[in-house]
Amino acid sequence: MSTTTTDARRNPPGRGERFADWTDSRLGLHGAGRKNLRKVFPDHWSFMLGEIAMYTFLIVLLTGVYLTLFFKPSMAELTYHGSYAPMNGVRMTEAYASTLDISFDVRGGLLIRQIHHWSALIFIAAMATHMMRVFFTGAFRKPREVNWIFGFTLLVLGCIAGFTGYSLPDDLLSGTGVRFMEGATLATPVIGTYLAFFLWGGEFPGTDIIPRFFAVHVLLVPGIMLGLFVLHIILVFYHKHTQYAGSGKTEENVVGMPFMPVYVAKAGGFFFLIFGVITVIAGLFTINPVWDLGPYRPDMVSTGAQPDWYMGWTEGLIRFMPGWEWVIPGGYTINFGVFIPLTLVGVVPIMMMAYPFFESWVTGDRREHHILDRPRNVPTRTGFGVAWLTLVFVLLTAGGNDLWATHFHLSINTITWTVRIAFFVAPVLAFWITRRICLGLQRRDREKILHGRETGIIKRLPHGEFIEVHEPLPQDELHKLTAHDQYAPLELGPSVDDNGVVRKQSPVQKLRARLSQGYFGEAGQIPKPTRREYEEITSGHGHH
């Protein structure tokens, strides 16, 4: 008799399995997830700067949605009668009144306002620091030039979102900032007056600027930022994450932990840690207390008015500029004291975005780079970065010249002229000093490679000479100190060929050769030790 049974027949799939099969057959999530969820990410503390920016951006979005439910973006005037007794009977706009209601009547409203503002400040600080890390380590090189542009655009859009956001309450401080913007708009040659009337809906303060700022702050800028943020993350996955030089790390691999489950678990914990820290900061330290300043009035200016820190350099540009004016044919006045700073505000970010292409043009390097540079090994680039940061600090000083004067009992004229001189001198000095420091660090690395690490042990040789015993570096550290590329400077070649014909050399070629010499010539880098030099030293011909 046969012993075959039907017990081994397959059970019908469950609902979850059927839904997974249905979804995968239409979206192909299984293959994409299996590939990307096991994506390896390297581990380094500096990579957390980008994560802080990402998480604070999410916190800004979450808290912003909550605030949008209660804020009224209207410049219609009313008489306040609410919970904040000192303001009862005061004429104000609906925007300012709703901000007071959020702060004193909406449950948790003041805490959410504080979290939103602190998160915005930390987001821009984290973005700026993250971009500095990318710049100094060369993470913007091929194939990440487009991601550099996305990141820098996110930083600029974050500043725009911040300015429009802290202008929405229509308090005396934010109204002063809007008035500043109106003056800058009026200074635009030829079309300034028409542009200001269009934006403000008439003579300042108009009736339209708060609703328009609200649309920009809540819809336009966040939508663009969210799209760029998604593209940024997609490109990080596609190009794979950069990593610092080390044992086993090459341009072809990534050494680290998989995205799922290790990185996801760490990232989730880090997000809640950041959220918690910002909540504590928001609960302990008040920021933007609009009830202390009162509603905006065009005939009043708050004492010591200062924008948020990330807009301070733009105000500094205006404060230290001389009041130059030209009257051009047609009766139009060009106010260079405002027009030149506005031009620089637009030109400088474009120059920073274009830097990866500039460096690629100077080096002629078309290779992909996934190993990061140490800033000391690219002295010219590092010098440019520090010079730029020095310039920003000078402009921040100019933007707060009144506070410097009152707190340190200095003359406004003295501060203004100091800043004007420093604007041209300080970045040059910072570039030169930084470059010299980087070259000195390269020389020290060269000595460590050839002679090893100092042990502090003094040894007397048989003939009476005293030497310090050096300990050879481990292979991992040797690899880290020698893994960087060193480019040969571009040479133009002879001006006459073998037949005596003069070779044509364009001004662009000559400029590129000079820049290449500045980057990679004798004054731009210290040669790495060769294998022969290292073997001669380690074979006993040198002192150890």
Report pLDDT for 190. 81
Token readout for 39 is 């994506």
How far is Cα 106 from Cα 67, in angstroms, rounded to an integer? 10
- What is the average pLDDT score of the chain? 87
How far is Cα 37 from Cα 29, in angstroms, rounded to an integer? 11
Asked if the model's pLDDT at residue 541 lies above 50, the reply is: no
Report pLDDT for 436. 95
Give me the percent of the chain exceeding a pLDDT of 70: 93
Pairing of strands 371-372, 243-244: parallel
CA distances from 261 to 35, 41, 53, 54 (A): 13, 12, 22, 19
Please, what sign has the CA dihedral across residues 517, 519, 521, 524? positive
Asked if the model's pLDDT at residue 498 lies above 70, the reply is: no
CA-based nearest residue to 342, from 155, 164, 181: 181
> What SS3 string covers 446-507?
HHHHHHCEEEEEEEECCCCCEEEEEECCCHHHHHHHHCCCCCCCCCCCCCECCCCCECCCCH
- Terminal Cα-to-Cα distance of the chain (whole angstroms): 89
Give per-residue pLDDT as tens, 94-106. 999 999 999 999 9
How far is Cα 109 from Cα 387, in angstroms, rounded to an integer? 42
Give per-residue pLDDT as tens, 106-119. 999 999 999 999 99
pLDDT band at 150 (very low <50, low <70, confident <90, very high): very high
As a whole number of Å, the CA-based R_g of the chain is: 30
Asked if the model's pLDDT at residue 543 lies above 50, the reply is: no
More confident site: 466 or 389: 389
How far is Cα 47 from Cα 199, in angstroms, rounded to an integer? 40
Q: Which amino acid is at 420?
A: R
Cβ-in-10-Å burial (0-12, 13-18, 19+) of 377 comes to buried
Please state at what angle helix 48-68 crosses helix 221-239, rounded to 10 degrees: 150
Give per-residue pLDDT as tens, 31-66. 666 767 777 888 889 999 999 999 999 999 999 999
Verdict on whether the full-model pTM lies above 0.85: yes
Tell me the average pLDDT across 341-362. Answer: 91
> What SS3 string covers 95-121?
HHHHHHHHHHCCCCHHHHHHHHHHHHH
Report pLDDT for 29. 67
Cβ neighbors of 19 (< 8 A, separation 6 or more) are: none
**CA-based angle 212:215:221, to the nearest 5?**
120
